[in-house]
Chain A
Amino acid sequence: DAGVIQSPRHEVTEMGQEVTLRCKPISGHDYLFWYRQTMMRGLELLIYFNNNVPIDDSGMPEDRFSAKMPNASFSNLKIQPSEPRDSAVYFCASGSQGTGGYTFGSGTRLTVV
């Protein structure tokens, strides 16, 4: 099992550009989460999916952020247009109901200049 795979590991982009972060969850997991980590706000949930359906997107900062899960093997998080305040580490995690903890990917460090 390769674990949760995120790409890219690092992303540097200019303000106003579109950014796409990608995630491949562990096969068989029916929950997928996107978290954002910053020094100021810690780990915040952005959105989570169950069986590819968005369940809670209340943490998505604003309309510039969108996330999709077109199938059980893939999810992406898009920011358009990006702003410097979006700079953070973005984590994807997956799991199954009743298993307790979730498995996190290695994260994408996004820097918007």
Chain B
Amino acid sequence: AQTVTQSQPEMSVQEAETVTLSCTYDTSESDYYLFWYKQPPSRQMILVIRQEAYKQQNATENRFSVNFQKAAKSFSLKISDSQLGDAAMYFCAYRSWGGSEKLVFGKGTKLTVNP
């Protein structure tokens, strides 16, 4: 079974600075998706960014980018120019490609943005 590990329960960053959230995963599959979801205090789960494992290029969405290291099974999220609205829980998630459709989540990292 696949597992996702987020080793940083909490992180903080100064407004306008850059922060990187870590995620590692374990799988024997070669094809899969990886995601970062954001959960603000409103508790809505919001998809931030996704990465297909077959793509070597790291995904980017505006201020959000990932560092995907397939051999190391690592998938970190970088947030540039942090804003107060980025404060939230961030969850890393895994989904098989062609297997089970379920998302497997990490425990999350709570990000605080200091003004």
A interface, CB within 8 angstroms of B: 31, 33, 42-43, 45, 48, 50, 55-56, 89, 91, 93, 95, 97, 100-104, 106-107, 109
Contact in complex: A48, B43 (CB < 8 Å): no
For this complex, 7 residue pairs linking A to B, each with C-beta atoms less than 8 Å apart, are A42-B106, A43-B91, A97-B101, A100-B50, A101-B50, A106-B43, A109-B43
Residues of A within 8 A of B35 (CB): 100-101
Residues of A within 8 A of B50 (CB): 100-101
Q: How far is the CB of B10 from chain A (nearest CB, A)?
A: 14
B interface, CB within 8 angstroms of A: 33, 35, 37, 42-47, 50, 52, 91, 95, 100-108
Q: How far is the CB of A25 from chain B (nearest CB, A)?
A: 14
Q: DSSP majority for the A interface?
A: strand
Contact in complex: B108, A42 (CB < 8 Å): yes
Residues of B within 8 A of A95 (CB): 101
Complex CA distance for A109 and B101, rounded to whole angstroms: 25
Residues of B within 8 A of A101 (CB): 33, 35, 37, 47, 50
Contact in complex: A56, B52 (CB < 8 Å): no
Contact in complex: B108, A48 (CB < 8 Å): no
Residues of A within 8 A of B91 (CB): 43
Q: How far is the CB of A52 from chain B (nearest CB, A)?
A: 14
Residues of B within 8 A of A97 (CB): 101
Residues of A within 8 A of B45 (CB): 91, 93, 104, 107
Complex CA distance for A103 and B108, rounded to whole angstroms: 18
Complex CA distance for A56 and B47, rounded to whole angstroms: 23
Contact in complex: B43, A103 (CB < 8 Å): no
Residues of B within 8 A of A42 (CB): 105-108
Complex CA distance for A9 and B91, rounded to whole angstroms: 22
Contact in complex: A45, B108 (CB < 8 Å): no
Q: How far is the CB of B91 from chain A (nearest CB, A)?
A: 7
Q: How far is the CB of B102 from chain A (nearest CB, A)?
A: 5
Of B42, B47, B95, B105, the contact of A43 (CB 8 Å cutoff): B105
Residues of A within 8 A of B47 (CB): 101-103
Q: How far is the CB of A74 from chain B (nearest CB, A)?
A: 19
